[in-house]
Amino acid sequence: MDAQHCKMNGDPFQESMYIEESSNKSGVISLIFSLKEEVGALAKVLRTFEEKGINLTHIESRPSRLNKDEYEFFINLEGKNVPALDKIIKSLRNDIGATVHELSRTKKKDTVPWFPRSIQELDRFANQILSYGAELDADHPGFKDPVYRARRKEFADIAYNYRHGQPIPRVTYTEEEKKTWGTVFRELKSLYPTHACYEHNHVFPLLEKYCGYREDNIPQLEDISKFLQTCTGFRLRPVAGLLSSRDFLAGLAFRVFHSTQYIRHASKPMYTPEPDICHELLGHVPLFADPSFAQFSQEIGLASLGAPDDFIEKLATVYWFTVEFGLCKEGDSLKAYGAGLLSSFGELQYCLSSEPEIQPLVLEKTAVQKYPVTEFQPVYYVAESFKDAKEKLRKFAQTIPRPFSVRYNPYTQRIEVLDNAKQLKNLADTINSEMGILCNALQKIK
């Protein structure tokens, strides 16, 4: 794909810089084009499509965010007559003066998958869950419980209606739900001093003090999100169920963790076939308050942006064996830092026993390791430290074939694509400023 298709006017703040966006419908092509606000402009464009025999299946508009005298139009087309479409795009650009951006077509080997550029764009996929949510599989413990199913729909509705920037709605949990939480909380807390890593044990008392972590109380996501933002800039947003690996990892690039609010069925308090609030709050949250682990998690997310599908699978596997089921060294001992371990009473004991196979964290090997989802892991990977894991991840990310690098700007909460001299100069200026602060500080502490 040539450069003029891949870039949008070279503007680093354009909403979508790269072109290919996955679609659930085969044979559908999506375009965005901008027109000056004048009488008959849109009619002229639509007439062009009609004359070439190309059907529009969807159209929507909004005022342009870049030019006040223009409107942007998003359209879906049937992709049956591609040669004619190429002529139309050329005509729109040359004859009508429209700015046209092609978002999707049949994939070519050099296309770059769409990824969010601003934190607000997480709203675009947050509800595209793959399973569970309000619907449960037949083997789910709560499948035949109408009260539980209705309750799950309440949680799903909260997630579906949530948008970035809003406070996360508070939930009044039932006595049965608090009892289930209490059982899990009590059993796991008894193991943490001997089985969990230092970082988890360091943060957990702070969560008890500031976020309402108690055996008789299920903490609120909004309170935890505010706490995490003061620690590492991480935040939570509610989600109804499982996201795709690409979408979930993209959230981490913005230091956003998609968290469920529902709790497992009361009939099996020590088992859940899906992530629930016990897994999220007891397993994940404490480590997101640690700066080094937060940076490691974000770098997995940044590495995923624009990555080919096969590398998304590899990154998701790395995430599985680190963030979910990772072990780390502490002196001569092994400790658990993976959320799947720290939220499972049985596996937390099993992973540190003599039964499973223990391997050093070598990402080239870890990234292709097969793993079971519904049983204890037969093999675990050990990180020397979070710092060591970050360095290995950075080297692994360099092997991902994409024509750019990315960085997260915490001030604008945007992803900056580093693919031109202007962007690199801006980055150099930022680094130079930070180095000046570092040098000044070093002189003062001599």
Annotated catalytic sites, by residue? Answer: 279, 284, 324, 343
- Residue that has been written with the tokens 């609120």 in this structure: 220
- Rounded Cα–Cα distance for residues 203 and 230 (Å): 13
Cα of first residue to Cα of last residue in the chain, in angstroms, is 54
**Which three-class secondary structure state does DSSP give residue 78?**
strand
Quick one: tokens of 118?
């601003």
Nearest partner of 201 among 288, 324, 286, judged by Cα: 286
Q: What's at 258, amino acid-wise?
A: H
Long-range pairs, 5-13, Cβ under 8 A, ≥24 = 5/102, 6/112, 6/403, 8/99, 8/101, 9/99, 10/420, 11/66, 12/416, 12/417, 12/420, 12/422, 12/423, 13/414
CA-atom Rg of the chain in angstroms: 24
Place of tokens 């580093």: 418
Report whether 86 contacts 52 (CB < 8 A): no
Look at the block and give the residue holding tokens 């169920």: 241
Q: How far apart are CA 14 and CA 414, in angstroms?
A: 11
Residue that is written with structure tokens 């998690």 in the block: 297
Centre a 10 Å sphere on the Cβ of residue 103 and count the other Cβ atoms it contains: 19
Q: DSSP E strands: which ranges in 278-369? A: 327-330, 333-336, 357-360
114 contacts 18 by C-beta, under 8 angstroms: yes
